[in-house]
Amino acid sequence: MMRALDERLLIVEPDSRQVARLQKILLDNGFYVIGSCADGEEALQICEQLSPTLILLSDALAEPLVVVELAGQLLRQFNLPVVFLSDTEARGSAAMEALAAGFVSRPVREQDLVRSLRLAARLHRREQQLQAENLALRSSGNGRQQPSIQLSQDASYHLYSGTLLRAGRTIRLTPKEQKFLDLLCRHQGAVVAFEQIFVEVWDCEAGNFQSLRILVHRLRRKLGAQDAIENIFEMGYRLNLMGS
């Protein structure tokens, strides 16, 4: 069978029986599984040595905080999309929501697993393509630096690099926060409908409003301005620029 994806998948799961079942499902659907491991330290070593492009991470690995920290390190150090294998309670974690490229609930259904991994890989490739295009845009224009967008008294955002600066310091954004801020900046002063936000940030037509509210709350704190992102009742969100 031809591979469904040109991806190198690593499974991080402590239950060997679960690993065997996951591997069979993935191999039957054309995925290239480079291996599996049962702890975070080994996962980081494998990423260093074998360069996977996609991670399936079980929340049964350790305490939830440890799993979240590992996912964050995989994202920061290797820029790898992480799909969580989790239960419904784990899906309610704001930290996991921020870091996840996707979720697969237990008990695992083959179609859900395959669909989530394919979607995560496709979105990650799209993000990399957009980053490359943005870099090309920044390099064009005879070397002129692209202007930044002033979001609050001491916070500015560079649209093409996805960099948020506050008081001269770089503030880290999660992938979803960056997508959301990019979307608002591209529609400066206009209301961006909820439907468009869910499609472009979560890649779904109808998303979780609680997750969206959490994302907006985090961004407002990072910007240092509660009124920088305005909720337009039953319509969507609007970016309020300084001086507008």
Q: Which amino acid is at 141?
A: G
CATH architecture of the region 8-128: 3-Layer(aba) Sandwich (3.40)
Q: Using an 8 Å Cβ cutoff, are 70 and 61 in contact?
A: yes
Instruction: Give residues with Cβ within 8 angstroms of 166, minimum separation 6.
Output: 152, 154, 155, 156, 222, 223, 224
CA angle 183, 189, 193 (to 5 degrees): 50
Q: Which fold has domain 149-239?
A: Arc Repressor Mutant, subunit A (1.10.10)
Q: Other CB atoms closer than 10 Å to residue 151's CB: what's the count?
A: 26
Q: Which two tokens stand for residue 33?
A: 């599984």
Q: Is the pTM of this model over 0.75?
A: no
Sign of the C-alpha dihedral, residues 213, 198, 8, 12? positive
Q: Using an 8 Å Cβ cutoff, are 15 and 62 in contact?
A: no
Distances (CA, A) of 58 to 61, 83, 86, 176: 6, 9, 6, 21
Distances (CA, A) of 50 to 8, 47, 240: 9, 6, 45
Specify the DSSP class assigned to residue 109.
P
Per-residue pLDDT tens digits of the chain, which is 244 residues long: 444 556 899 999 999 999 999 999 999 998 999 999 999 999 999 999 999 999 999 988 877 678 888 998 998 889 889 999 987 655 556 667 777 888 898 889 999 999 989 888 887 887 777 666 655 655 554 444 456 788 888 888 887 777 889 888 888 888 888 889 989 988 887 899 998 899 888 877 667 888 899 999 999 999 988 888 999 988 999 998 764 4
pLDDT at position 143: 43
Domain ranges of the chain: 8-128, 149-239
pLDDT at position 2: 41
